[in-house]
Amino acid sequence: MSKHDITLNVNGKKYELTVESNELLLNVLRERLYLTGSKYGCGIAECGACTILKDDESYFACMVPAVAADGWNITTVEGLADGDKLNPVQQAFIDNSAIQCGFCVPGMVVTSTALLRENPDPDEDFVKDYLRGNFCRCTGYVAMVKSVLDAAGKMKEAK
Amino acid sequence: MSVIGKNTPRIDGPAKVSGKQKYASDIIIPGMMYAVTLRSPYPHAEIVSIDTSEAEAMGAVCLTYEDINPVLYNERSVSVPAATYRDRTVLPKKARHVGEPIAAVAADTEELAYKAMKTLKVEYKVLDPVFDPVEAMKDGAPQLYDKIYLGDEEVTIKNNIGVVRKIDEGDCDAGFAKADRIFEEDFELPRIYHCQLETKGCVAAPDSEGGITVWATAQSIHGNRHIIARVLGLPLSKVNVKKVTLGGGFGSSIQVNTVTPICAALAMKARRPVKLLSAREEDFYSHHKYPAQFHVKIGVTNDGVITAAHVKALIDFGSHQIQPMAFMGCVAGWFASLYKYEGNIRFDGTAVYTNKTPCCAMQGYGNPQVNFAIESMVDVICNEMGFDPIQFRLANYRGTGEEFWGQGPTIRSIIKSCGVEESLIEGAKLMPEWATRNEPKDMNAEILTGVGLARGFHCSGTAGPKEGEVIDYSSAMVKVNEDGSIDCVSPVMDHGGGTWDALAKILTEVFKVPLSMVCLSPADTKNTGYDVCTHATRGVYCGGAAVYNAAVKCRDRLLEFAGRAMDEHPSHLEISPDEERGQGYIHVKGFPAKGRTIGEVAKLAQINSWGTAMYAESFRQKNCPPCFTTHFVKVAVNTRTGEITIPKVVIYGDCGVAMNPELLHGQLIGSFNRGLGYVLYENLPHDYDTGKLKNNGLLVDYKMPTAVEMPTAENVIARHANTYEPTGPFGAKGIGEAALASVQAAIANAIYNATGIRFTKLPITPEIMLKALQEHGLAHK
């Protein structure tokens, strides 16, 4: 294994790190930057619990070698809120009682944030289809889908 | 001002949506090592030797059966010891299923631990495996065990039969003789996987006084503490298990997960903190839902009275016992409590060892399984004998005043609240398609639709008036701070359903304070009394009752202080909410003008050295009331593809007073989603040549319903019955496990209504549906 110097911009903060070539971005975020909001759920891009944003696009952090993320502008679930002010998706998940155990929630709110940046005016089918890569074993998804539609409505009103 | 029965934003919501909530795997300690496990590639093999020298030369710390106390235990410790089978050690001398951990390695990094693990040289003596439960019971089949223990009593295992459980009440033979019609049918339910999002994990840190602190995926911190202490040979006071958030359990952490004592033992050996997190593939090989085969016989009179029922069960529980005895007792109890049967019931259960992953509770502990059989049979009876399914159920069900078995035959109480009638009558109105379901339809249509009904329940806790096979009590400490805010230390775990919010609401109601004035403290096994486990849908009903009782006694103390301060007898005082001050307000009953806030009283008590208004106690409920559910499901069967979709569902829950209606509905809806997977997709077949799971433990090859498979939001209709449980905290009982019980039969009954095809075996995948449609001449060309 070889070592590589990389730079990650995470939640507006610049990190200069030396990583092994096989180190995964998820592990670097969790165990080295202590950003444990992104979760390990499967390690094979199947459950979505590790979802992060690169700019406005969602990625599975469990599938990205840290060395490949050199120079990326990353937002993790910890970076979605503006200080204590939650983003509209986060607030909507609380308002619509869309949270149970909460282990999938970081991935869900990150994916939903990406969804609304891609399509600010989604319908229910669009939301359901977009979230099919994120597993939740607790809620049955209905309240989560409502949350995303609610957040879309609130964001439109705010404009 | 009361928040009970109102939707309030969940207290942990902001932490959960912003990634700040800590689960076991999120714990990071300076100097922490990372561990991995070596798992058996064989379904049945003696471990002759394990050479760890190369791994140790790499700087790794290794743990094998030679390094760990070979104490025989059962990781599920909710039953009394005398009713608990013990057949396992933490690391075995003999592997009995593929994926069983046989050694563990810790090193400075996960990668180094993995590389070191790969150097372990294990000499196996491979043995013949047995996978089929019927084969396993034959003479000459490979034997998994010779001897195990029931409590302290040695038990010889013959023909891999782990447990036989027979229960016979009333007079079944007379009941069947009285019946006009006898119905008999076989049912089969698959082995499935919990797939809780959080894989089992643990962080363990030895302290400088010879003790250890543990953060583990757990439904019971005290259950973990007891087993870790036994395995490590430490006094309980040297083992502290911290309460951390649970990332989904569904029953798979009622037991102490195998990785937990492994991690603790590694940490003690290394004298350093260790983190051990299961990979998803490993988790897939660690805990499954009990599969079940039933033969059901029910007798009915021409006027619609069930006169007797007999259930035979065959349970293939895998490679060791996580209490199939308790499981079968519960199966018998759920079946016995569904209908009256004129008191004539018989249960014959046999549970068999096979070389597969051990099975454990998964939302319902046999309830979804046997409910599928009985509620399908009721549908058969109603269809064949022309009874109205709602009226037939109302005539035969066990309701208020009847006996309910809360956790097998030894734990029973009388039903005191019941929303069954409301759920059936009002539920049918919300599904108008129910009334027209038997009208003639075009059976040549490409999409066939139908509506099905089933009802179910679960217990709220496992306490009866008399103590039985299962331990049930909880504890709480409650304290009024000097500004009127409330602290509570509770060992109760929350699966995510909102148990912790319910505990907080109970406190607000006792002290008449806003929710923001109540805080659940960080808790662990050192600062809390015992709580058995958040299982059996007991969190709110039993854990909440302990909080309620401690709070009431704490309030009495506070009123005593208030009496001194106000020169009144405490019995003349009461607390009212004071919205202006955001506090509870103590005053003479009926005279709110003269009073003090609870904060003022607590402060006076402090500065006058009267003391702190606080109370700690343990508390046991003495009932196990059923929480009921009813499902009306509409299905659409595609006769071209065999695909089954759900255009609409009506779910009725009866949890007594709903602490938080939206969270309650969330549980009902989430359970419907899991039931959908159980009926239509999920199955975990083994490869009988290798003993491996056919999906190899990969999530990508285990299909579960996603957001897409659910009906549209407006067609998922969740309601709750208007009931009050007199023995529960502020009228509450449970809901969690009940919410799954009747999903399976409701869907299968709807498929029958749509197609005339009766499925008695799950899952009903598109392939199976299509084949059945072809056989019945209904497949679309």
For residue B709, tell me if it sits in a domain.
yes
Q: Which of B12, B18, B280 to mutate to test the interface with A (most CBs of A within 10 A)?
A: B18
Q: Is the same domain home to B340 and B352?
A: yes
User: Does residue B151 surpass a pLDDT of 90?
Assistant: yes
In chain A, residues 65-124 whose CB comes closer than 8 Å to chain B = 76-78, 80-81, 86, 90-91, 93-106, 109, 124
For residue B757, tell me if it sits in a domain.
yes
Domains of chain A by residue range: 3-78, 88-158
Region B116-126: mean pLDDT is 98
Percentage of chain B beyond pLDDT 70 is: 100
ipTM surpasses 0.85: yes
Q: Are the C-beta atoms of residues B297 and B336 closer than 8 Å to each other?
A: no
Which of B20, B196, B672 shows the shortest C-beta gap to A37? B20
Q: In the prediction, which pLDDT does A73 show? A: 98
Q: What is the pLDDT of residues A12-56, one digit of tens each?
A: 999 999 999 999 999 999 999 999 999 999 999 999 999 999 999
Beta bridge partners of B95: B45
Out of 3.40.50.10420, 3.40.50.360, 1.10.3810.10, 1.10.150.120, select the CATH number for domain A88-158.
Answer: 1.10.150.120
Q: What is the pLDDT of residues B611-652, one digit of tens each?
A: 999 999 999 999 999 999 999 999 999 999 999 999 999 999
Q: What is the pLDDT of residues B170-222, one digit of tens each?
A: 999 999 999 999 999 999 999 999 999 999 999 999 999 999 999 999 999 99
For residue B737, tell me if it sits in a domain.
yes
Enumerate residues 6+ apart whose C-beta is below 8 A from B574. B586, B587, B588, B589
Enumerate residues 6+ apart whose C-beta is below 8 A from B709. B645, B646, B673, B676
Question: Of B556, B588, B619, which marks where a domain is finished?
Answer: B619
Region B564-572: mean pLDDT is 96
Q: In the prediction, which pLDDT does A94 show? A: 98
Which residues on chain B are in Cβ contact (under 8 Å) with A43?
279-280
Distance of CA B547 to the CA centre of its chain: 21
Which chain A residue has the Cα nearest residue B667? A139
Q: Is the same domain home to B546 and B684?
A: no
Asked if A43 lies within 8 A of B669 by C-beta distance, the reply is no
Question: Of B283, B306, B325, which marks where a domain is finished?
Answer: B283
Q: Is the same domain home to B640 and B729?
A: yes
Distance of CA B616 to the CA centre of its chain: 27
Q: Is the same domain home to B112 and B231?
A: yes
Which of A31, A81, A105 shows the shortest C-beta gap to B16? A105
From the CA of A120, how many Å to the nearest CA of chain B? 19
The pLDDT mean for chain A works out to 97
Which of B23, B111, B670 shows the shortest C-beta gap to A103? B23
Nearest to A66 by CA among A55, A58, A57, A74: A74
Q: In the prediction, which pLDDT does B594 show? A: 85
State the total domains in chain B.
3
Q: In the prediction, which pLDDT does B780 show? A: 86
Q: Domain of B83: which CATH number?
A: 3.90.1170.50
Which chain B residue has the Cα nearest residue A52? B19
Q: Is the same domain home to B72 and B202?
A: yes
User: Does residue A1 surpass a pLDDT of 80?
Assistant: no
The pLDDT mean for chain B works out to 97
Percentage of chain A beyond pLDDT 90 is: 99
Beta bridge partners of B347: B167, B311
Distance between CA B678 and CA B753 in Å, rounded?
19
For residue B137, tell me if it sits in a domain.
no
Region B89-116: mean pLDDT is 97
Q: Are the C-beta atoms of residues A52 and A9 closer than 8 Å to each other?
A: no
User: Does residue B757 surpass a pLDDT of 80?
Assistant: yes
Tracing tokens 């396993």 back to the chain, one arrives at: B136
A138: tokens are 């607790």
Region B580-595: mean pLDDT is 93
The CATH architecture of the domain made up of A3-78 is Roll (3.10)
User: Does residue B166 surpass a pLDDT of 70?
Assistant: yes
- B607 to chain A, any CB pair closer than 8 A? The answer is no
For residue B179, tell me if it sits in a domain.
no
Q: In the prediction, which pLDDT does B593 show? A: 86
DSSP annotation string for B233-259: T--GGGEEEE--B-S--TTTTTSPPTH
| Residues in chain A, total | 159
Which chain A residue has the Cα nearest residue B7? A97
Residue B158: pLDDT band with limits 50, 70, 90: very high
Report how far apart, in Å, the C-alpha atoms of B74 and of each of B319, B345, B351, B409 are: 13, 30, 16, 21
Q: In the prediction, which pLDDT does B204 show? A: 98
Residue B1: pLDDT band with limits 50, 70, 90: low
Q: Is the same domain home to B584 and B681?
A: no
Q: In the prediction, which pLDDT does B477 show? A: 98
Asked if B195 lies within 8 A of A103 by C-beta distance, the reply is no
Q: Is the same domain home to B237 and B380?
A: no
Q: What is the pLDDT of residues B681-724, one digit of tens each?
A: 999 999 999 999 999 999 999 999 999 999 999 999 999 999 99
Q: In the prediction, which pLDDT does B290 show? A: 98
For residue B277, tell me if it sits in a domain.
yes
- A136 to chain B, any CB pair closer than 8 A? The answer is yes
Q: What is the pLDDT of residues B647-679, one digit of tens each?
A: 999 999 999 999 999 999 999 999 999 999 999
B489: tokens are 């230390």
User: Does residue B223 surpass a pLDDT of 70?
Assistant: yes
Q: Is the same domain home to B690 and B559?
A: no
Q: Identify the domain containing residue B547 by its residue range.
A: 473-619
Which residues on chain B are in Cβ contact (under 8 Å) with A138?
197, 248, 495-496, 666, 670
Q: In the prediction, which pLDDT does B317 show? A: 98
Distance between CA B769 and CA B679 in Å, rounded?
12
B171: tokens are 């007079």
Region B245-261: mean pLDDT is 98
Q: Are the C-beta atoms of residues A40 and A59 closer than 8 Å to each other?
A: no
Q: In the prediction, which pLDDT does B730 show? A: 98
Distance between CA B702 and CA B695 in Å, rounded?
7
Q: Which of B12, B197, B253 to mutate to test the interface with A (most CBs of A within 10 A)?
A: B197
Which chain B residue has the Cα nearest residue A37? B19
B585: tokens are 């307000």
Q: In the prediction, which pLDDT does A7 show? A: 98
Q: Which of A82, A137, A147, A150 to mutate to test the interface with B (most CBs of B within 10 A)?
A: A137
Tracing tokens 């400075």 back to the chain, one arrives at: B108
User: Does residue B589 surpass a pLDDT of 80?
Assistant: yes
Mapped onto helix, strand or coil, the DSSP state of residue B551 is helix
Q: Is the same domain home to B615 and B483?
A: yes
Which chain A residue has the Cα nearest residue B666? A139
Region B372-390: mean pLDDT is 98
For residue B612, tell me if it sits in a domain.
yes
Q: Is the same domain home to B615 and B627?
A: no
> What single-letter amino acid sits at A159?
K
Distance between CA B334 and CA B458 in Å, rounded?
8
Q: Is the same domain home to B633 and B512?
A: no
Q: Domain of B676: which CATH number?
A: 3.30.365.10
Q: Is the same domain home to B460 and B516?
A: no
